[in-house]
Structure formats: C-alpha cells, structure tokens
Amino acid sequence: MAKDKRKSPRRAVSLRVKIEIADGALVRDCLVTDISTGGVRLYVEGLEVPDTFVLLLGEPDGSIRPRACQVVWRLGHELGVKFTDAPRRDEHAKSAKRVKQPIIA
C-alpha cells in the first residue's frame, strides 16, 4: 500500500466554488471534491485551466475568500491543486468547521 505523502489530511466534500483563470476574466463554476489546509481536488468541465489561477472560496460569514492556486496534477476533468498564498492564522483550527459549511450556491 502506498504511503500518503500529503502534509495535511483531506476531507471529502462536494462544494460548488468559482474559479478565476485570469484577472478580469469571467469566473466559472467548478466542484471541490476534497479539501485540506494545503489544497483541494477540483472537478472542472468545459474549461482549460492554466497552471496557476484563483479559486474563490465562500466563508461561513458569506464573504468570498480568493485563494491563489497552482496545479499539482491533472487526470481528465480532475485537478489536484495546492494553495500558494499564505493561510490565515486561524486556518488550521477552523478548517474542519468551515468545510461543513455550504460554499457558493
């Protein structure tokens, strides 16, 4: 059995979020299928995703938090991406609670 090399545990989810592939470009819908403090697995259909982009994540208070991302792997419509911006100080403590909240509808 292969050892999991992830730095932080991932949680399986099904969250609709927005992806912005360039400054000023139209945002598009995509689906987060798992998430951790270090990154996400995305399902994206009908869009060529560049190696770097911004993911717009919803917060429990209704605000939108942009996260800079870099693609780590690609498999069909799925992408493994890591966050390249610095997490907030409370990111680790609240990540489990935040994951359970609905994201952008």
Q: What is the DSSP string of the chain?
A: -PPP--SS--EEEEEEEEEE-STTPPPEEEEEEEE-SSEEEEE--S----SEEEEEEE-TTS-EEEEEEEEEEEETTEEEEEE-SPPPTTHHHHHHHHHTS----
pTM, two decimals, is 0.73
Q: For the chain, list the domains and their CATH numbers.
A: 11-98 (2.40.10.220)
Residue 30: how many CB atoms within 10 A of its CB? 24
| Per-residue pLDDT tens digits for 11-65 | 899 999 999 998 778 899 999 999 999 999 999 999 899 999 999 998 889 899 9
Pick from 5-9, 79-83, 88-92: least confident: 88-92
Q: Dig out the tokens for 32 from the structure.
A: 């987060």
